[in-house]
Amino acid sequence: MVGIVGWGAYVPCYRIKAETIARQWGGDPESVRKGLLLEEKTVPGMDEDTITISVAAARDAIERAGIAPHEIGAVYIGSESHPYAVKPSGTVLIDALGIGPHVHVADYEFACKAGTEAMFVAYSLVKAGQMKYALGIGADTSQGAPGDALEYTASAGGAAFIMGDDKVVAEIQATYSYTSDTPDFWRKELEHYPQHAGRFTGEPAYFRHVLAAARGILEQSGHQPQDFAYAVFHMPNGKFPLKAAKTLGFTREQMEEGLLVTTMGNTYSGSSPTGLAAILDVARPGDLILLVSFGSGAGSDAFVFQTTDHLPALQDKAPKIRTLLERNRRYLDYGQYAKFRRKIIFNSPV
Amino acid sequence: MKSAQYIREVPQRYRLEAGKCTGCGKLHFPPRLVCDGCGSREFEAATLPRQGTLLTWTVIHAAPPQFSLETPYVVGIVELDGGVRLTCQVADCDPEELAVGAPVELVFRRIKEDNAADIIQYGYKAVLRRE
Amino acid sequence: MRDVFIIGTGMTPFGELWDRSLRDLYVEAALAAIDDAAVDRLDSMYVGCMTSGLFVGQEHIGALMADYLGRTPIPATRVESACASGGIAVRQAYLEIASGASEVVLAGGVEKMNDGADVTSALAAASDQEYEAYQGITFPGLYALIARAHMHRYGTTREQLARVAVKNHRHGALNPKAQFQFEITIDQVLNSTQVADPLRLLDCSPVTDGAAAVILASAEVAGKLKGHPAVKITASAQASDTFALHNRQDLTHLGAVQRAGELAFIQAGRTIDDIDVVELHDCFTIAELCAMEALGIAEPGKAAALVETGETTLGGRLPINTSGGLKAKGHPVGASGVAQIVELTTQLRGTAGKRQVEGARLALAQNMGGTGASCTVHILEGAA
């Protein structure tokens, strides 16, 4: 049996309310709240980035798994906001957690689905018998352009999953991917903020790929929507995953536990992975979980997990993601937010 | 470019690796070549715990350029469980929340960049334990 | 060891001296000291300086100053011990004469801090660069850590810290070479700009350009001079302590200051009760209190109360920092230790004017580097 043996998730303590951003740009707070189903989003501290978020999440994953860091044979961080354009994120993480140096490391990038890519490859390597444990992480500190719709949602956070074949807490029963060349959202080298194709990001991009991947894995695994205790779909906002769920025949109840977006925002590569972490925090043995990610450009990775008897003992070994979302929330005004996210021009050296 | 100087301290800044004197048992952070407790030159590797308490702190309002965007920020002296002390920032808090003896734990954060084009230098900071 | 005497002193004004360079400052003070001593002989010279490299990009300043003083080929040595560079330069000159190696030696200190370098970063180099400065701590920050520990342990108050600055400004107002020749109030200190809580701007010594110099000589040379009453160095002591503040078991205790003080009292055959006037290293208000406690001027935790009594103010039982101290006179870091000796020599000669301590015969100078990892204490004795 191969699957998750440990998980951890992290979100920064800083927040900005959707209302604060709306007022800055003369928008209507109420329509943003209803349109995106979003109250607020996380903001990384000035001392946080994809690497520090990954370290925090992975430290808890190792703690839950109860393994020695050097037993991990591969580390993959999926992100669209790696702090360096050239120089890996994973190298910092393996040295921070004592995993290296005898380890395979790579950074992945595929818009918002880089995290599930990392999980997929980590899982595949363990399944192939290449190594005992592999670590897959999805984390981001993404930015939307000032005044752009994305600014309401682009947030910071991540989740880490250790794959293994011993004391598995959530077996991976099936995987499925669906990918096509669909330019719905992109950022070129040296551009600071991403561009997106407006409403084209919906039907031809998000929904086409998420629904196809979900339908594909359901057919492949022989499960029906009602078989699942939980489902989590990539959460660019509150509306899209609920609409996808409804279209596929999943209930609001199945979605509720993993739906962190309303108070977390879109953590991009960390989005559906943090949702999965929230589900693992509370699931009972034998629960079926469906996860479908989405990355612009575009593609979806889908996973079917079934939890095991090993799960409950690990749930309280590290902070739960909903606890992290609720405690020590520190609200920023737009000026502070602009400073934190370096949206204003500073003099050197920083 | 500080790469050479930076990488040398990575075991301490990333993983809190200390040296334990085999002569008298004193923990040294960072490790040393000779024990100032007993004069021994033999050490074994030890990893410090991440939990400790806050002994004293200040709020920096006037900072060097690498830190000036983050003012005001808190720097304190932390005594880790087991007795080793170190100086580090206390992140994610209001100074009003701090007290002598407050329980803290060390987390992994960005510390500074010497300029925008230079390497990102990481290390430990303390945060209040908020169980 | 031979007796050593101070036969000449010199000092530039302290302040923002835009028209004077690093070398100008040192040479100006050295020439004044040479003129004051009225001797032409100079066997060697010392330059106390913390970080001319970071402040103006100039190292190798022993030879630089020898050249610009017109004294090549005599040996010229730079001494660096952060803010104790000056005091330790004096001590090196003292040892050179006491040992019999030389007869007349110049000990000067200099710092040029206002030429545009980032002062906070340069001064932070006196802390542990890898384990203190790396974390974003500053020098005011380090002393603020001490101040909070002192307040927590002994109940020392914000107002009590302010009183140290008020006292030293009162003295500085009487010193024509001081950077700040004006008085301040407690309210001004308490409402000044925040620097490193709980310390504010008026708790901190300023950024200063300046130099000071003394000429030391053997008894044989000093005995032939007729200009000034002889001032003898009856003790020169030095000690060190853990480099990083966090490694001190008691964060409020300056171990090197205590040790250097004890050694100096033994060497001089005196106790603190014999001393008439003191220059202490008040880089921050809290530093003066901690140094008082380490030297035994007050019991641990009692220095602030002693300052409140006025006993350490000019006219009191034991005036401290009659020059204005680092706080009001200014703190060109490498020069401060030498400037303390200049002030005390002036007091012992009885030529301190409005800030003269009547009948002063024994004086003590304490100069420290970093958060007290290095310290030197000198005891001077004037003519009967």
- Structural domains in chain C, sorted by start: 4-118+207-223 (3.40.47.10), 125-205+234-381 (3.40.47.10)
Average pLDDT over residues A91-101: 97
Contacts for C312-317 with beta carbons within 8 Å, 24 or more apart?
C312/C167, C312/C278, C313/C167, C313/C170, C313/C171, C314/C170, C314/C171, C314/C174, C314/C355, C314/C357
Residues of C in contact with B111 (CB under 8 A): 134-136
Nearest CA in chain A to B97: A328
Q: Do residues A101 and A220 share a domain?
A: no
Q: How many domains are there within chain A?
A: 2
Choose, out of B5, B28, B29, B75, the residue to mutate when testing the contact with C (most C CBs < 10 Å).
B75
Q: Are A145 and A180 members of one domain?
A: no
Q: What is the pLDDT of residue A349?
A: 57
Domain presence at residue A347: no
d(Cα C281, Cα C341) in Å, to the nearest integer?
A: 12
**Chain A: nearest CA to B4, how far in angstroms?**
15
Q: Are residues A217 and A127 in the same domain?
A: no
Provide the H-helix boundaries in chain A: 18-24, 29-36, 50-65, 90-97, 114-127, 208-221, 239-248, 252-256, 261-264, 271-280, 311-315, 321-326, 334-340
Using pLDDT thresholds of 50, 70 and 90, give the confidence band for residue A350: very low
Q: Please tell me whether residues A215 and A301 are part of one structural domain.
A: yes
**How far away is chain A from the Cα of B38, in angstroms, using its nearest Cα?**
30
pLDDT at residue number A304: 98
Distance CA A110, CA A120 (A): 13
Q: Do A179 and A328 reside in the same domain of the chain? A: no
- Are A208 and A188 members of one domain? yes
Contact B112 C136 (CB under 8 A): yes
Q: Is residue A350 part of a domain?
A: no
Asked if B121 is an interface residue toward chain C (Cβ–Cβ < 8 A), one would say yes
Looking at the domain assignment, is residue A142 inside a domain? yes
Of B110, B69, B114, B66, the C-alpha closest to B88 is B110
> Does residue B113 sit at the C interface (CB-CB below 8 Å)?
no
What region does A320 belong to: left with phi over 0, alpha with psi -120 to 50, or beta? beta
Rounded distance, CA A194 to CA C84, Å?
55
Mean pLDDT of chain A: 96
Judge contact between A280 and A170, C-beta under 8 A. Answer: yes
CB A168 within 8 A of CB A308: yes
- Per the structure, the complete domain to which residue A16 belongs is given by 3-169+312-340
- How remote is the C-alpha of A290 from its chain's centroid? 14
Catalytic residues of A: 80, 112, 234
pLDDT at B85 over 90: yes
B115 touches chain A (CB under 8 A): yes
How many helices (H) does chain B have, and how many strands (E)?
A: 2, 8
Tokens 């740009």, located at residue = A25
> Which of C134, C196, C245 lies at the smallest CB-CB distance from B62?
C196
- Counting as contact any 3 or more CB pairs under 8 A, the partners of B are A, C
Closest by CA position to C127, among listed B75, A106, B106, A197: B75
At C330, which helix (H) or strand (E)?
A: none
Among candidate residues A158, A182, A11, the one with its CA nearest the CA of residue A82:
A158
In a domain, A111, yes or no: yes
Q: Is residue A206 part of a domain?
A: yes
Residue A345 lies in a domain: no
Average pLDDT value for residue range C333-354: 98
Check: CB of residue C333 under 8 Å from CB of residue C111.
Answer: yes
Q: Which residue of B has its CA nearest to C250?
A: B55
DSSP-derived letter for residue A297 is E
Judgement on whether residues A269 and A334 belong to the same structural domain of the protein:
no
Mean pLDDT of B65-86: 97
Q: If you average pLDDT over residues A93-117, what whole number do you get?
A: 97
- For residue A334, being part of any structural domain is answered with yes
pLDDT, residue C227, reads 86
Res A5: pLDDT: 98
Q: Residue A228 falls within a domain, yes or no? A: yes
pLDDT band at B2 (very low <50, low <70, confident <90, very high): confident
Main-chain phi, psi angles of C341, to 5 degrees: -65, -35
Section A172-194 average pLDDT:
95
List, for residues A253-298, the tens digit of each pLDDT value. 999 999 999 999 999 999 999 999 999 999 999 999 999 999 999 9
CA of C242: how far to CAs of A198, C126, C145, C250, C363, in Å?
62, 13, 16, 11, 28
| Euclidean distance between CA atoms A321 and A270, whole angstroms | 12
Of all residues in chain B, the one with the smallest CA distance to A318 is: B131
Residues A151, A24 share a domain: yes
| Claim to verify: residue A194 and residue A47 sit in the same structural domain | no
Q: How many CA atoms lie within 13 A of C248 on its CB side?
A: 21
Are A326 and A183 in the same domain?
Answer: no
Contacts of B75 in chain C (CB under 8 A): 135-137, 141, 145
Q: Verify cis geometry, omega within 30 degrees of 0, for the bond prior to B72.
A: yes
- pLDDT exceeding 90 applies to what percent of chain A? 94
- Report the CATH number at residue A30: 3.40.47.10
Q: Are residues A157 and A35 in the same domain?
A: yes
- Residue with tokens 């380890």, as numbered in its chain: A103
Same-domain check for residues A143 and A41: yes
